[in-house]
Each structure stands twice: as C-alpha cells, then as structure tokens.
Structure 1
Amino acid sequence: MKDLLAKVRNQNLFSTGETVVVAVSGGADSVALLDILTRLDTERLKLIVAHLNHCLRGAESDGDERFVADLAARYHIPFLSIRVDVGSFAAAEGLSLEDAGRQARYAFFREVARRHGATSIALAHHMDDQAETVLIRLLRGSGGAGLSAMAAVGDNMLKRPLLKVTRAELERYLNERGLNWRTDSTNADTAILRNSIRHELIPLLKKYNPKVTERLAATAEILASDEELLEQLTDETFSRLARSEDESVRLGIASLLGERRGLRLRLYRHALCELRGDLMRIALTHLDAIDRLVASSRPNASLNLPDDLRVERSYDELRFTSVTKPIEQSWEMTISGEGSYPLPNGMTLSVQRLPRPADLVTGSEKIAYVSAEAAPFPWLVRPFAAGDRFTPLGLNGSQKVKELFINKKLPPHERSRVPLVFSEGDVIWVAGVRLAEKGRVKPAADAVLRLEILEITP
C-alpha cells in the first residue's frame, strides 16, 4: 500500500490545500482513488465527490448513486450528483453511448469545479485503461498524438493520478483496506469495443508478452514526450508562417514547400483545428490532398473537406476557411428585470429571481445563476461580435469570446447567433456557453437570478 501511495504522491499533481473534484462512479478504480486522495496527509486536499447517474441501468444506476453518496458521507466529504438520460442524449446528438456518457460526465465535473473553485478534477484511469486506449486508437487508425493516449495532466484541470498503477494493484489495495465497490454489469459485454479488448485481445497478447499492458503504457508515455516536442515545433512554425483573419487561416505556398512533409501535415492540422476547434473526421487522406494542392503546378485550385471546411490555393497563398459563412446579426435588447424576453434571433431569455439554492450546479449550460447585486439591471443583450472579451467564471484575466467558441468547438456559422448578456458594460453570461466572473454568486447571497436561454442551437 505504501508503494501505491508513493506512486501517486511522487507525481506531484496537486498543490497543498488544493480543492479537487473527485469523479467517483462507485467502481473499484474510483473508490480506490478517493481513498488514496484522502490519505495524502501532507497535501491536505479539499475534496468534493462528484457522481453522474447515466440512467442506463435502471435500479443498478440508482444503487451506484446511493453507494457513492454513502461513501462520501463516511469520509465526511461534500457530495454532488446529477441524473442525465445518456441514452436520449446519445440518440439526439448521434453519438455512441460511450461518447455521450463521457461528454456528459466531463461537462458536469467541470461545472462542479467552476462552482466550487476547484482547480483539479481527479479521474481514476489507470495503466490498464491506458493500454486499452492505445489499442483502440491503433485499431481505428491514429498518429502519434492519438497513440499518446491519456496524460497524467490533461486539458481543463483533468488529473489522472493512477496511470502508473495497474488494475490488479488497485484491487489488492482495496482488499487490504477492506473497501467495497460496485460492479457495472455492462463491463462484461464484449459487444462494446473496450470490453472486447480488455477481455479478449489483451489476454491473447499476453501470450506473446506477459507485460504487454506495461509495454503499451510505456509506449504511450514515450510518444507523449515526442508529441510535446513536435507540437512545440509546430506552434513555433505556425506562429511564424500563418496569418489568421476574417474567420480564415492563410499560409504562404513557398514557405510551406520549404518545410519537411511531416511538418507541413502538422501545419495543416493546426490550421484546421484553429478554424473549427477539433479534427473530427479529418483523416490522413485529407491532409495528403491538401499537400498535393500545395505542390500542384496549378496556381488556382480548391478542396472541400468534411463539415463545410474548405482549402483554397490562390497563386502563392493557401487559405483555410469555412464554406458556411456566419449570418451577421445586428440587434440589441434591454432587459429591465424579471420576465420572459423573446429575442430577435428566435431564442427566448428567461430571468427569474429565486432564493439562493443550496447547489448552484444546474446540470445544463442553458441555465445559469447570477448575482443580482453584482449584475444590476438594466442588462443589454446582443449577438456576439468580433473582438468581444470577457472574464470566465473562476479566472482572473480576460479572454476573447472567439477563443471560448473555438475551445467549445462551436462552428463559425453558429457563433453570431449566441447572445451575450451585459451588465454595466461587462459580459455576465455568454448565453448557453459560459458564465462570467462579473455575475459570480457569493456564498452569503440570499437570492439569485436564474437565467435560461431556450433554442440555443439552430
């Protein structure tokens, strides 16, 4: 047990006295994680247990929620949970259950962190999970970034303290500590790719190398280090060669041809990611097609990519843009107090004064609570415009609203539809996307204003 605690402590993932949201499903991994974090005495972490009920297994899911609530109570740790119909969410968004569940969980965990001033979200992924992820991405086709799999320190406060710990070590730890856990019945369903890899492929691979899990995890760690170096090179080269303007990214043909092919492909990826926010549905065939466009003897040509992305060559310049142009909207509305306000873009903003709820986590980005004292009326509501800035809740410095949209993977043609709510000239809410620090509800507040935006998507 001491060795396992040392593996976690020696990574120095947490600061002394830090507030940490611990994602606890009730399974063996997360139960072990919670217990380990409570035993990091020198760090004196302030823990919050967060649990999302996926509503996929009926009474079993409800039992998991009660189990985690009781577990948190035994440790005298605050407990927050939410119920999300992941099945309906997956069907509505065209996602797999696994992807829908992941999106719902991470959105909830980040909301809990924002509301409670947490600076880390602890996840229970371990070495076996890492090995499975490498194999999944290898089978689906992936480069160095994908095969790097999961990082101990990820984006948006995510921390994975158990990546150097195996599943077997965790189960030994739980048994030695006399701790119980819940078992998800769907974990045995080999129709699910990850389960098939866990129960069928990895046991087969262990016949060739008994330490295949460790080797796969080590490979991911090596690739992650290489990827960090390559991304730094790409960022520096992109900053030197690229120009971003008017919802487009431009690169000089001569400059591109002066770089090696591997770096050129990374520059194309970087340009597309900056424009859209992710690289979903962008494959090597698309990057190869862009590279042929650059090397072509034709001075003018174009290429259409998935999701309305377009690459155009015009003489000595390569331009990345979106086929679907934003529909410019120009309107303003004054909000004088409580009520329901139909907006000119077809949405409706509801404002209601309520006693301060015990929990400010709404479970929906379309609903928010703001302070009536910090954000006095009248308010101004208008569409997003280029150059708008705000201070996100929980942060000190300002951020471009456009950067928020990129991080949220909101396509350019949808951005001008998003209303911004202003009080005293400052943004208090990027409606349906992110709260601002300006409207923060303080613990002593007796009442709050509940905001809801309807029909946030086209």
Structure 2
Amino acid sequence: MKDLVAIVRNQHLFAPGETVVVAVSGGADSVALLDILTRLEDERLNLVVAHLNHCLRGTESDDDEKFVSDLATRRHLPFVAIRVDVASFAAAEGLSLEDAGRQARYAFFHEVARRRGATSIAVAHHLDDQAETVLIRLLRGSGGTGLSAMAASGDSLVKRPLLQVSRADLEDYLNGRGLTWRTDSTNSDTTILRNSIRHELIPTLRKYNPRISERLAATAEILAADEELLEHLTSSAFDRLAALEEETVTFGVGALLKEHRGLRLRLYRHGLHELQGDLMRIALAHLEAIDRLACSNRPNASLKLPGALRVERCYDLLSFTVVAPQAAQCWEQVVPGEGDYTLGNGMTLTVQRVAPPKDLATGSKTVAYLSAEAAPFPWLVRPFAHGDRFTPLGMTGSQKVKELFINEKLPLHERSLVPLVFSEGDIVWVAGVRIGEKGRVTSATGAVLRVEILDITP
C-alpha cells in the first residue's frame, strides 16, 4: 500500500502551524484527506472541518452532515456547516446542479477561511478526478489552459494534495486504517456528464490503455508546465504592449501585429480577463473575431462580446472596454429599522433582529450579521461610487471599495449593482461581498441584525 502521508508531506503544500479549512463531504476521498492531514505531525496544522449540505437527497444529505460532524467531534476539530438549496440556486441562475454546487461550495469554503484566518483550503480531488476533468474539457472544447486541468496549488487558497493518488489507493488507505465513509447515491447517475465519463467512457478507454487515468493526469501536468511558461511570456508581452487605465485596456495595433498570432490571441484573453475578472462565455471564435478586427484595413470598427464587453478599433488603437449598465446607478434608500426594502436597482434588502448565531461562518455572501449597537439605524443604502472606502471585517486600516472588487474579481459591469449599506456615514456591508469592521458582531454583542440581499447578481 502506498504511503499517502509521505506523498502529501513531500509536496510541501502547507506551512508549519498553518490554519487549513478541510472540505469534507463524508465520501471516501475527503475522509482520507482529513485523516492524512491529521497525521502530518511535523506540520502541526490547525484544521477546520467544513461541510456544505446541498439539500439534494433529503435525509441522506442530512445523514452525511451528521457523519462529518461526528467525525470532527471524535477528532476534536472545529466543525462548520451550512445548508444551501442548490436545486433552487441552480434554477435561479440557469446553472447545472454540478456547477451550482461547485459555486456554493467554494463560496462557503472561502468565507470560512476568511472568518477563521485560514491560509489554505484543502480539497480532496485525486488522480481519477483529474483524468475526468481533462476528458470533460476535451469534449466541451478547450485549449492548453483548460486541458492543464487542476493544479495542486494555484493562485488561490485552494490546495489539492491528492492529485497524485488514485481513488483505489484512497480506498485501500481507508480500509487499512479501519475507517468508514459515506457513499453518495447520485454518483451512479450516468445522466450527469462526470459520472458518465467515470462509469462508461474511462472503462472503455482502459481497453486501449489500462493506465489511461495516469496518462491523462500526466498529460495535464505537462500542459500545466507549458501553460505556466506561456502565461509568463504573455504577461511580459502585455506589460510591454498594453495600457491599462481605469476600465479600458488599449493596444497599439502596429506593435500588436508584429507579434505571432498565437501570442496575440493570448493577449486578447489576458486583456479581457483584466477587465471582467474571468473568461466566462469567451470562446476561440471571439478571440479570432478580435484578431480580424486588428488585422482589418478598416480604420474604425467595433464588435460586441458576450456580457458587456466591447472591442473597438480606432485607427492604430485597439481598445477593450466594459459597457456599464445605465440603470440603477443613482438612487438612495433610507432604512429606519427592521423590515423589507425594495432598492432602486430592483433588489430587496431584508433586516430582521435575531438571536446571535452560534457561528458567523454559517452565513453566506447574501446574508450578513451585524451588531445593532455598532451599526445603529437609520441606515443609508446606495450604489458604489468611485472613491468609496471602508474597513473590512478583521482589519484596522481602510481600503478602497474598488480595490475590494478587484481582489474579489468582480466584473466591472456588475460593480454598480452592488449596494453599499452605511451606518453613521461608515460602510457596514458591501452587500454580497464583504462585511465592514464597524458592524462586527462579537461575543459581547447583545442585539444582532440578520441582513439579507435578494436577487443580487454577484
């Protein structure tokens, strides 16, 4: 049996004494991950067990939550859980259940990490997950960036210590340790793409190569190394060729056309990512359309990309911008006390006095708990304006709200939709994004206000 503890330790993903949020579903993979991390004696990690109940399988989901809670209790580890109606969230956002669940989980894990002061979030993706991800992205259409799949340690807090370990190795480990786990009944539902690949496509591919999962994972690792190099070259070229000011990225067409086409396409991707914070809905066809615009003999032309992105050619300048929505930018709402308030952007703010929650990390991006004493009424709610500053929860100095939006990768066209809640002239909540220090709830807080924002885009 492989020494999984040594495999994880030798990756040096965690610093001694680090606080780590461990995502535990109750399945074999995450139970093994938690056990391995508790055995990293030299690192002396401070582990926080986090579990999201997707509310998709009735009592089975509830039993999973209890199983993980009991697991944390036996190991004397702090346990944080939240329940999210993932089906309703998926329907409201037009997402698949898998995508909705992923978004809910990572938002929750990052919130727990922020509140607990954690510097890592450990998730249990393993070698077979990596192989499945490569095939999913290949089937959907992807370049080297997508096919490089998951990294053990990326730019965010998320760490994946088990990418070198197969599902079979994990089950051998658990059996050898006498540990039990929960089995998700939906894992056998082959109408879900990932399950179909796991139970149908990969077994077929094993007829051609019995080690297909290992080969796919190795391919992803090679592509990831190539991608790291290419991204470094792209970033250097972007700094040399692009001007980034306020909400616009500009290239000089003459200098741009001296570069290889492959680099130009990467520069367009880089510029769009700088503006929007992600590349959702941006496909190769869009990048090629931008390149045709740059190469065109027409001195003035433009094209509209998905969302609010716009690219414009004006003689020797190629500009990327985000067209901000015109509505819901100039309004104010006074909140004198508890109740429901319809805001000028169509959202609803609900304020309710409640008992102090046992753990504030059980909130969500759309729900905040504020101290009634520290954040007295009346409140003023209005959209973000340039120059707004606030002190984020847990900090002593102020920062620009714009910097918060950039750090959270909030697209430019969504920033004007975010309501800011003021008490006595100070921001107590950037709704859906971050709580302010002024409204902080402490163990000494008496009256607590539960504040919820409904129908928020971010």
TM-score, normalising length from structure 1? Answer: 0.91
| 1:257 CA displacement | 1.0
Q: 1:256 to 1:103 in 2, by over 3 A?
A: same
The 1:251–1:398 alpha-carbon spacing in structure 2 relative to 1, beyond 3 Å, is: farther
CA distance in 2, matches of 1:361, 1:194: 30
Pair 1:449–1:133, CA change in 2 (3 A): same
Letter in 2 for 1:249: V
Residues 213-268 of structure 1 deviation map (CA, whole Å, 9 limit, x = unaligned):
22221221222122122222222222232223453222111121122211111111
The residue that corresponds to 1:286 in the other structure is 286
Q: Please tell me whether the aligned partners of residues 352 and 451 of structure 1 are also in contact (alpha carbons under 8 angstroms).
A: yes
Q: Which amino acid aligns with 1:223?
A: L
Residue 178 (structure 1) shift: 0.5
Q: Distance in 2 between matches of 1:396 and 1:156?
A: 23
- Are residues 309 and 164 of structure 1, via their aligned partners in 2, closer, same or farther at CA, if it must alter by over 3 Å? same
CA RMSD of aligned residues (A): 2.7
Please, which moves more after superposition, 429-438 or 216-225?
A: 429-438
Task: Label 1:119 to 1:187 Cα distance change in 2 as closer, same or farther (>3 A).
Answer: same
Aligned in 2, Cα 1:273/1:117: closer, same or farther, shift over 3 Å?
A: same
Write the distance in 2 (CA, Å) between the matches of 1:6 and 1:394: 36
CA distance in 1, matches of 2:361, 2:176: 36
Q: Which residue of 2 aligns with 1:235?
A: 235
Q: Which residue of 2 aligns with 1:207?
A: 207
Q: Counterpart in 1 of 2:258?
A: 258
| In 2, Cα distance between equivalents of 1:419 and 1:48 | 32
Cα displacement (A) at 1:355: 4.5
| Paired letter, 1:213 | S
- What 5-or-longer segments of structure 1 have no aligned partner? none
Question: Is the 8 Å Cα contact of residues 275 and 406 (structure 1) preserved in structure 2?
Answer: no
**Which region of structure 1 is more displaced relative to structure 2, 376-385 or 9-18?**
376-385
Contact 1:277 1:407 in 2 (8 A): no
User: For structure 1, which segment, 341-350 or 297-306, has the greater mean C-alpha deviation from structure 2 after superposition?
Assistant: 341-350
Cα distance in 1 between the residues matched to 2:227 and 2:312 = 28
Whole-Å Cα distance in 2 between the matches of residues 431 and 67 of structure 1?
Answer: 33
Amino acid at match of 1:6: A
Alignment partner, residue 70 of structure 1:
70
Q: Is the 8 A contact 2:351 2:450 kept in 1?
A: yes
Note the C-alpha offset of 1:379.
Answer: 5.3
1:353 positional shift = 5.1
Distance 1:418 1:195 in 2: 37
User: Which range moved further: 344-353 or 220-229?
Assistant: 344-353
Distance 1:165 1:116, change over 3 A: same
The equivalent residue for 2:80 is 80
Mapping for residues 39-438 of structure 1, pairs under 5 Å: 39-245=39-245, 247-323=247-323, 325-327=325-327, 329-331=329-331, 343-352=343-352, 354-371=354-371, 375=375, 380-394=380-394, 400-405=400-405, 410-423=410-423, 426-438=426-438
**Are 1:274 and 1:406, in contact at CA under 8 Å, matched by a contact in 2?**
no
Distance in 2 of aligned mates of 1:96 and 1:188: 17
The verdict on how the C-alpha distance between 1:283 and 1:123 changes in structure 2, with shifts beyond 3 A counting, is same
For residues 16-53 of structure 1, the C-alpha deviation after alignment (integer angstroms, 9 at most, x for no partner) is 22221111111110110111111111212221211111
1-side partners of 2:133 and 2:287: how far apart? 24
Distance 1:409 1:79, change over 3 A: same
Q: Is the CA contact (8 Å cut-off) linking 1:190 and 1:196 kept in structure 2? A: yes
Q: Which moved more, 1:107-116 or 1:406-415?
A: 406-415
State which drifts further: 302-311 or 363-372: 363-372
Segment of structure 1 superposing worse, 306-315 or 328-337: 328-337
Worse-matched range after superposition: 96-105 or 215-224:
215-224
Contact 1:276 1:406 in 2 (8 A): no
Task: Determine what percentage of the aligned residue pairs are the same residue.
Answer: 76
- The structure-2 alpha-carbon separation of the partners of 1:172 and 1:211, relative to structure 1 and needing over 3 Å to count, comes to same
CA contact (8 A) 1:19 1:119 kept: yes
How far does the alpha carbon of each residue in 1:304-324 deviate from its partner, in whole angstroms, 9 at most, with x for none?
222232211110111112345
State how 1:1-20 maps to structure 2 within 5 Å: 3-20=3-20
Going from structure 1 to structure 2, the CA distance change for 1:268 and 1:445 (only over 3 Å counts) comes to same
Letter in 1 for 2:269: R
**CA distance 1:325–1:247, change in 2 (3 Å):** farther
CA 1:13 to 1:389, structure 2 compared with 1: closer, same or farther past 3 Å? farther
For 1:345-382, what per-residue CA distance to the aligned partner results, in whole angstroms no more than 9, with x for missing partners?
45454455555321113443222123456656675543
Q: Assess if the C-alpha contact under 8 Å between 1:22 and 1:34 holds in 2.
A: yes
Alpha-carbon separation, structure 2, partners of 1:429 and 1:417: 14
Q: Report Cα offsets for 1:84-108 as digits up to 9, x if no partner.
A: 2211211111111110111111111
Length-normalised TM-score, structure 2: 0.91
Instruction: Give the gaps of 5 or more residues in structure 2.
Output: none
CA shift, 1:124, in A, is 0.5
Bigger CA drift: 57-66 or 377-386? 377-386
CA distance in 1, matches of 2:117, 2:37: 18
Change (3 A) 1:365 1:413: same
* Amino acid paired to 2:418: V
- Structure 1 distance, partners of 2:80, 2:57, is 20
Do the aligned partners of residues 244 and 387 (structure 1) sit closer, same or farther apart at CA in structure 2, a change above 3 Å counting?
farther
Structure 1 window deviating more from structure 2 (323-332 vs 4-13): it is: 323-332
Q: State the distance in 1 between where 2:193 and 2:395 align.
A: 39
- The answer on whether the counterparts of 1:117 and 1:394 sit within 8 Å (CA) in structure 2 is no
Partners in 2 of 1:286 and 1:202 — Cα distance? 32
Residue 327 of structure 1 and its aligned partner are, at CA, apart by 3.8
The question of whether the paired residues in 2 share the 8 Å contact of 1:362 and 1:368 is answered with no
Structure 1 residue 454: Cα displacement: 4.0
